[in-house]
A and B are shown apart, each in its own frame.
Chain A
Amino acid sequence: MKKFFNEFLRGIAKENPTFVLVLGLCPTLAVSVSVINGIGMGIAATFVLLGSNIIVAVIKNSIPQRIRIPCYIVVIATFVTVTEMLMKAYSPALDRSLGIYVPLIVVNCMVLGRAEAYASKNTVMNSFFDGLGMGVGFTLALILISGIREALGAGTILGHRLFASFEPAFILGMPSGALLVIGLLLGFFNVLKGRKA
């Protein structure tokens, strides 16, 4: 059990997909305008990661080596379609605000990266916890980035006003603001890591 727990924790801290592996930046840049979008995208990506990791780990021995990437993509696309339909049915508002970025999870390098680098070489249980850890790590990173961007770029958190009089900096609501925040956080975490080492 401890082994699985370690697999899970690795995705959150030591191999955080956003801040250490720097994978899946496209949705991170695009949807981290508000915390609610960040949470929605994080949950959607976690679900897809879990599904694709499990299926890839199950079928890894029965798919030919040469066409494994297309096979992974088909698996991932299936789960993304499921996610998108669920989101459209149960949370149309979130679906509208995430827009094209939900279908784009198909080409998210984080999902494909875990399928190729981990699930295709490990057992189903390990892959499940790896996917869960990566997904949670991705979600936490998104919440952190979108929290900073929403607080400073719009003056709100989850739609609640934070300060009585505060003039939000528009730049943080724009893609350039996302790059700034991600860059600074990456630098910050690298400094922390350097201190520890």
Chain B
Amino acid sequence: MKDKLSVGTSPHLHKDESVSRIMWLVVLSLAPAGIAGVLIFGLSALRVIILGVVSAVFSEGIIQLLTKKRITVLDGSAFLTGLLLAYNLPAHVPFWLPIVGSLFAVAIGKQVFGGLGQNIFNPALVGRVFLMASWPKYMTSFTRPMNYDAITCATPLAALKEGRAFENLSSWDLFLGLRGGCIGEVCILALLLGALFLFYKKYISWHIPLTYIATVGLFTYIFGQQGLFSGDWLLHVLTGGLILGAFFMATDYVTSPLTYKGQVIFGIGCGLLTAIIRLWGGYPEGVSYAILMMNAAAPIIDRFTKNRVYGKR
């Protein structure tokens, strides 16, 4: 009888979750989008994904070895960073681009701040923005979908920015991902499948993604090209990196606010910034910049949306 009773301190209820379990399940939830990307853009997309992931994991291991920290390359966070970075690249980039991007993302985006849980900015987006600022030529030449010969084409948003009508793409095409774009962002169907899984496991809440997407939709509808309330909001929601960013990158635990109230503010802020950059900014797409800017604001949002401590005025 005695050895059946164990004495311990609270908490007594444990959840069967851990950081690395969540990381690996998020990786799993991203798998459909990756498979779709490879089907749409061909094997070169697979090459980019593998290079990104492998170099992110290796960079993390080497940095932890050099700084004599505990080596945690198998907790999935570096894998996830590399995967998300690769999803944010066009399919036919030179082989060194995902390697340099992953190295930068892990080293400057994460390890410089002290590793997992300490970073201010989403590491994958830091890597992407670094590549975007350094080699814009490669980052903006997208491959035509379902045509494995590396013929380039513009993304719908880039065409929209230049004032051209893009080739006849129905909303259905956009939903399935038959358009030019980054590897992981094109197939909305696959991304939604992954997001549903995350909702089912309660790893993410609706607060950030839904407010983010709704704000972009509403804002682009109000400020349409033919006057107020004429915008093609469905196009803006279905193109670019919005779905990938809203469900998988803005919801990063480390870099988003803690409370639900804060998360709603965060989502609306991301949406406003994205829409403003898309409509009036210099770049056709603004999801990565919007999320990074709101990452910087997350600590302040946290400060103003603190939950009231029980019994305290």
Contact = CB atoms under 8 A, between A and B. Distances in A.
Interface stretch (B18-26, B53-61, B128-136): B128-136
Contacts of B136: 170
B108 interface: yes
A167 B112 contact: no
B9 to A, nearest CB: 37
A169 B134 contact: yes
A172 B130 CA distance: 10
A180 interface: yes
B134 A170 contact: yes
A167 B93 CA distance: 13
A171 B112 contact: no
A167 B108 contact: no
A167 B135 contact: yes
A159 interface: no
Interface in A134-169: 167, 169
A179 to B, nearest CB: 11
B140 to A, nearest CB: 13
Contacts of B134: 169-172
A187 B112 contact: yes
Nearest to B137: A167
The DSSP consensus for interface residues of chain B is helix
A176 interface: yes
Residue among A170, A171, A180 facing the most chain B CB atoms (10 A cut-off) = A171
Interface string B88-114: 000000100000000000001000100
A171 B112 CA distance: 19
Interface residues of A, number: 9
Interface string B237-255: 0000000000000000000
B3 to A, nearest CB: 49
Interface string B117-161: 000000000000010011110000000000000000000000000
Interface in B175-223: none
Contacts, number: 16
A180 B112 contact: no
A169 B96 CA distance: 12
A174 interface: yes
Contacts of A176: 133
A163 to B, nearest CB: 13
Nearest to A167: B135
Contacts of B94: 167
Nearest to A170: B134
Contacts of A174: 133
A60 to B, nearest CB: 43
Nearest to A176: B133
Nearest to B94: A167
A172 B112 CA distance: 18
B19 to A, nearest CB: 26
Contacts of A169: 134-135
A169 to B, nearest CB: 4
A21 B136 CA distance: 36
A180 B133 CA distance: 13
Interface in A100-130: none
A170 B135 contact: yes
Contacts of A187: 112
16 contacts: A167-B94, A167-B135, A169-B134, A169-B135, A170-B133, A170-B134, A170-B135, A170-B136, A171-B130, A171-B133, A171-B134, A172-B134, A174-B133, A176-B133, A180-B108, A187-B112
Interface of B: 94, 108, 112, 130, 133-136
- Across the A-B interface, the 3 shortest Cβ-Cβ residue pairs: A169-B134, A171-B133, A171-B134
